[in-house]
Chains A and B, each alone.
Chain A
Amino acid sequence: AQSVAQPEDQVNVAEGNPLTVKCTYSVSGNPYLFWYVQYPNRGLQFLLKYITGDNLVKGSYGFEAEFNKSQTSFHLKKPSALVSDSALYFCAVRDTSSSNTGKLIFGQGTTLQVKP
C-alpha cells in the first residue's frame, strides 16, 4: 500500500539553527513527492516537489528537501530557521494507482516550533 510517514509530531528548533522535518514514503514506481506548509487558520501552501533529476530540491521561503531513494526518504530542511517558519508541515506523495487524477497521499503533519 502506498503511504507517507512523518515520524515526529513536533520539531523544536532555535531561531538561526538548521532544521529538518522528516518524511519517509512507500510507493510503487517512481515517486512524486511534495511538501506543503499550513499556517494557522489558512489552507495548505505548496513548498516544493521532487519529480526527477537532482536529489536536492529547492523551494519557497529558503526550504529545500533531499530525496534519498535507498532510504525512501524526503526530508525537509532549512539552513537557518526563522520564527516565522513555525507552522504545520505536510509531506505528500502522488498516488500512482489513481491513474493521472492528481490524488496525493498526505502524512499526518509535523508541527515546527521555532523559538527566538
Chain B
Amino acid sequence: DAGVIQSPRHEVTEMGQEVTLRCKPISGHNSLFWYRQTMMRGLELLIYFNNNVPIDDSGMPEDRFSAKMPNASFSTLKIQPSEPRDSAVYFCASSRSRVDTGELFFGEGSRLTVL
C-alpha cells in the first residue's frame, strides 16, 4: 500500500489567499484525521472523520478553516483567507478504527508558509 498521501508537500502563499490541502487515506481505512504541528503549540487535532462523516471539529481554529471528505478516498482541508499565523505543518492520518486498536498512519505532511 502507498500509505497516506498528502499534497502539496510544500506551499508558500501570501496572506489572504485560499489554501487547499489534500489527503488520500489508506484504502480500507474508515477514520481520517487532520492535525496541525507548530513549534509553539505542538501537535493539534483539527478535525476527524469516521466513515466520511465529520465527528469532531472542535479543534478547527476558526471559520476560515473548513474540511470535507466527499468519499472514502479523499479529503481536503481549506483555509480561506489564509493568515501568517496559519503557517505550520499539516498532517493527515488514517486508521481502521473498528478493526484495529487505534494505530494511526500519518502522511508526510504539508508544510504551509503564509507570507
Interface residues of A (CB under 8 A from B): 32, 34, 36, 41-46, 49, 51, 90, 94, 98, 100-104, 106, 108-109
Contact = CB atoms under 8 A, between A and B. Distances in A.
A43 to B, nearest CB: 4
Interface stretch (B11-19, B68-76, B78-86, B102-110): B102-110
A105 B20 CA distance: 26
B3 to A, nearest CB: 9
B106 A102 contact: no
A102 B48 CA distance: 9
Contact of A44 (B97, B101, B106): B106
A43 B91 contact: yes
Interface residues of B, number: 26
8 contacts: A42-B108, A43-B93, A44-B93, A101-B97, A102-B50, A102-B97, A103-B55, A108-B42
Contacts of A100: 97-98
B42 A98 contact: no
A106 B103 CA distance: 12
Interface of B: 4, 31, 33, 42-43, 45, 48, 50, 55-56, 91, 93, 95-98, 100-109
A108 B56 CA distance: 21
B97 A32 contact: no
B42 A109 contact: yes
A46 B55 contact: no
Given A44-B93, A102-B50, A103-B31, 7 more contacts: A32-B101, A94-B102, A98-B56, A102-B48, A106-B43, A109-B42, A109-B43
